[in-house]
Every structure is written in C-alpha cells, then in structure tokens.
Amino acid sequence: MSGILFVISAPSGTGKTTVARRVQRELGDLDWSVSFTTRKPREGEVDGREYHFVDGETFAAMEADGAFLECAEVFGNRYGTGLSQTKEKLALGHDLLLEIDVQGAAQVRRGPVEAVSVMILPPDFATLEARLTGRGSEAADQRAGRLAQARVEAEEYRHFNYMVVNADLDRAVEEVASIVRAERRRTERCAEAAQAILDGFPDQAG
Ligand code: ADP
Ligand code: 5GP
C-alpha cells in the first residue's frame, strides 16, 4: 500500500511551517520531507534536519539528473524535493508531508506522484505583514519582496484541493489534521483493509 503525499503551501509568512510542524506533532505518523537547498544554513539549522544544504553546482547536477520531484527558485535560493527519497517513503506506506512554495506545488501537481494539496492563507494582508515582520528573519527589502509576491501566490489557491485560513493557530492545525484523517479514509485507499474484513465473512448462502 502506497503512502499519501500531502503538499502544504502558502505565501511566505502565513505560518505554513508553524502549522505543518504542529500537524506532524499532533498526528505522530506523518513523515517530513527534508528538501535540498542552496541557501546557507541559519543559526541553529542542522544539515540533514531542516534541509540538505548543497552548493549551486551540486544542485544543478542533481536537477540535470532528474533527481527532483520538483524544484524552484524562491527569493534568490534554489530548493528541491528529492524524487527517490519521496518515492522510497511512499513505497514503505508512509504518508509524507511536503512544505514547499507555490511554484513547487504546481510542479508536483503536474508530476508523476499523486498528491493532496492544501493552500494556507492568512486571514488578511495586514496579518501577513505583521507575521513576516514579527518573525524577523528577513531584512526589510527581502520582506517587501515576499509581500509583493504574496498576492500572486495566494491567487493560486484555486488549483489546490483544500484551502485553510490560518487565523487561530489551533483551529488551522485541527483543520489540516482533519484533511489528513479524511484523506486516509477515502474508500479507494481502504480497499485492502475492507477486503481483509470481507474475507472473514462467510460466503453468501444460496
Ligand atoms: P511561513 O512558513 O509560512 O513562512 P512561519 O511558520 O515561519 O511562516 O510563520 C510566520 C510567523 O507567524 C512566525 O513568527 C509564527 O510564529 C507566526 N504565526 C504563525 N501562525 C500564527 C497564528 N495563527 N497566529 C499568530 N502568529 C502566527
Ligand atoms: P526558507 O528559506 O525560509 O526555509 O524557505 C523559503 C521558502 O522555500 C518557503 O516558502 C518554503 O516553503 C520553500 N521551500 C522549502 N523547501 C522547498 C522545496 O523543496 N521546494 C520548493 N519548491 N520550495 C521549498
């Protein structure tokens, strides 16, 4: 039985990392995909944990080899999801969560692996601005660039399977967790379990 691939995207600063990490903790059985990036590690980030940190040459060689399920340039750095890593986890029957940008999500939709996609939106623009400023991880000019992109990215919501508003964090986490739980119970994904139950039933008489 193959695992399910979940993709979470949002305009930068919406809170998708916060929401996705909390969902993973709450459910306890969702694997986290570690992306490759050419970005330099921030303080406290560990190679192989937050990201696989690689140089531009290595990244380009991997891309040429078809090593990525998707890859994109996001705010001046390159990011990509390993194709073989993704397939291996799914083949083991593990459900996998990708937290990627909106361009990457579009590539996954067109790619070879079926995915369930969730767009997270902020309740309004002012909240997005306040969160991005409050996080304090970008300089003011970088922040302006991210905010300028936000509308274009948010418009993409219509191509996703689900849309969740991250106003109250607990509620957003619960809604995303509910999506995961419901997708796991789709009949087409439960055929093996249902058949095992049916196999134990006596044959229909006469
Ligand atoms: P993203 O991954 O979408 O860029 P982050 O997860 O880094 O965003 O969140 C951006 C900032 O907003 C962080 O400082 C985070 O703590 C805060 N944040 C996230 N969700 C909420 C929420 N529902 N209410 C208030 N603050 C939030
Ligand atoms: P950060 O550098 O702040 O960790 O991430 C910047 C942006 O890159 C975020 O929007 C994040 O979701 C996105 N990102 C992280 N990993 C990947 C990836 O593997 N593919 C794509 N397309 N985007 C990614």
Per-residue pLDDT of the chain (206 residues; tens, 9 = 90+): 799 999 999 999 999 999 999 999 999 999 999 999 999 999 999 999 999 999 999 999 999 999 999 999 998 999 999 999 999 999 999 999 999 999 999 999 999 999 999 999 999 999 999 999 998 878 888 889 889 999 999 999 999 999 999 999 999 999 999 999 999 999 999 999 999 999 999 987 65
Helix axes 140-155, 125-135, angle to 10 degrees: 140
* Helix %, strand %, coil % of the chain (to 5): 50, 20, 30
DSSP tally for the chain: helices H, then strands E: 8, 9
Report the candidate in 153, 182, 177 with the shortest Cα–Cα distance to residue 164. Answer: 177
Reduced to 3 states (helix: H, G, I; strand: E, B; else coil), residue 6 is: strand
Q: State the distance from the centre of ligand 1 to the C-alpha of 194, rounded, in angstroms.
A: 40
Does 204 map to a domain? no
Beta-sheet strand order (sheet of 77-82): 51-53, 35-37, 77-82, 68-74
Does 32 map to a domain? yes
Q: Report whether residue 12 contacts ligand 1, using a CB cutoff of 6 Å.
A: yes
Radius of gyration of the chain, Cα coordinates, nearest whole angstrom: 19
Please tell me the predicted confidence (pLDDT) of residue 141. Answer: 86
Measured CA to CA, the distance from residue 100 to residue 7 in angstroms comes to 7
CB atoms within 10 A of CB 48: 8
Report the candidate in 2, 54, 9 with the shortest Cα–Cα distance to residue 31. Answer: 2
Q: State the distance from the centre of ligand 1 to the C-alpha of 16, rounded, in angstroms.
A: 7
Does 19 map to a domain? yes
> Cα angle vertex 123, ends 28, 51, to 5°?
40
Containing domain of residue 122, as a range?
5-198
Q: State the distance from the centre of ligand 2 to the C-alpha of 54, rounded, in angstroms.
A: 14
Q: Report whether residue 22 contacts ligand 1, using a CB cutoff of 6 Å.
A: no
Q: Report whether residue 24 contacts ligand 2, using a CB cutoff of 6 Å.
A: no
Q: State the distance from the centre of ligand 2 to the C-alpha of 11, rounded, in angstroms.
A: 11
Please tell me the predicted confidence (pLDDT) of residue 206. Answer: 57
Does 155 map to a domain? yes
- Does the global pTM surpass 0.85? yes
Measured CA to CA, the distance from residue 21 to residue 17 in angstroms comes to 6
What CA–CA distances, in Å, run from 71 to 3, 82, 152?
21, 9, 18
Domains identified in the chain, total number: 1
Reduced to 3 states (helix: H, G, I; strand: E, B; else coil), residue 55 is: coil
CATH of the domain at 58: 3.40.50.300
Mutation test of ligand 2: which of 18, 35, 107, 109 has the most ligand atoms closer than 8 Å to its C-beta? 35
According to DSSP, the residues that pair with 165 across neighbouring strands are: 121
